Amino acid sequence: MAQPFLDRVKMVLFDPHRFFKTVDKEKGVEPAFKYIAMVALVPFIIFLVAAVVFLPFVTSFLTMMNPQMAFLTPFLTGFGVVFIIGFYVFYLISTFISAFIMHIFVLIGGGKQKYIATYKAAVYGTTPGVLLLWIPIINFIAGLWSWYLQIVGIATLHRVSMLRAFGITLIPIAILGVLFLLGLGVSLIA
């Protein structure tokens, strides 16, 4: 029997070792995908409401500055809504891509399980980061918490040590950091 949604959220956040042992028995990516689609609705709805409420104020300000800009109000609000819906869909698709990239590093780091295990670790692990995405400063802490949960997920589902799982997740972060610094260096030289 499937766990109620809020119980799953609570368990992944506060008892991740036990949680990942239970999801190890799940078949396929469908339960994890449905879960992250529901979790991602929280910031999606918050951003959608913010767009509908605040974009008309922005365009009202533009209209006060230049009355010929009045036509922008429905356009900007509509664009904001379409952009947020598109971002939600893009995020859901990107869960498969980011899990695939993570799976490459899991295999390099000695993980023996299939892509499905990595997808579960990646998706369930992002819970705090996605839920708290919309709160400045807190979202940074939630991102670190998500990283920890992904480490627990990889360690549990791929049956590797926590230290090895930490290294597996650190490698792509280090590569991105080096690429960022190289890009920063190139932009400073240019």
pLDDT in tens, 41-53: 999 999 888 887 8
Distance CA 93, CA 83 (A): 15
Helix (H) or strand (E) segment spanning residue 12: helix 5-14
- Supply the pLDDT for residue 1: 44
pTM of the model: 0.85
Does residue 47 contact residue 22 with C-beta atoms inside 8 Å?
no
Residue with tokens 């979202």: 139
The candidate with the shortest Cα–Cα distance to 170, out of 108, 100, 126, 120, is 108
Count the Cβ atoms, other than its own, within 10 Å of residue 150: 24
What is the pLDDT, as a whole number, of residue 104?
A: 96
One-letter amino acid at 117 equals A
Give the pLDDT score at 80: 77
> Quick one: how far is CA 92 from the chain centroid?
9
What value does the mean pLDDT of the chain take?
Answer: 90
Residue 24 pLDDT > 80: yes
Distance CA 116, CA 28 (A): 6
The distance from CA 85 to its chain's CA centroid, rounded to whole angstroms, is: 15
> Is residue 120 scored above 50 in pLDDT?
yes
Going 103 to 107 to 129 to 20, the CA torsion angle's sign is positive
2 pLDDT band, cuts 50/70/90, is low
Query: What average pLDDT does the segment 89-104 reach?
Result: 96
* Structure token digits, residue 145: 């918490």
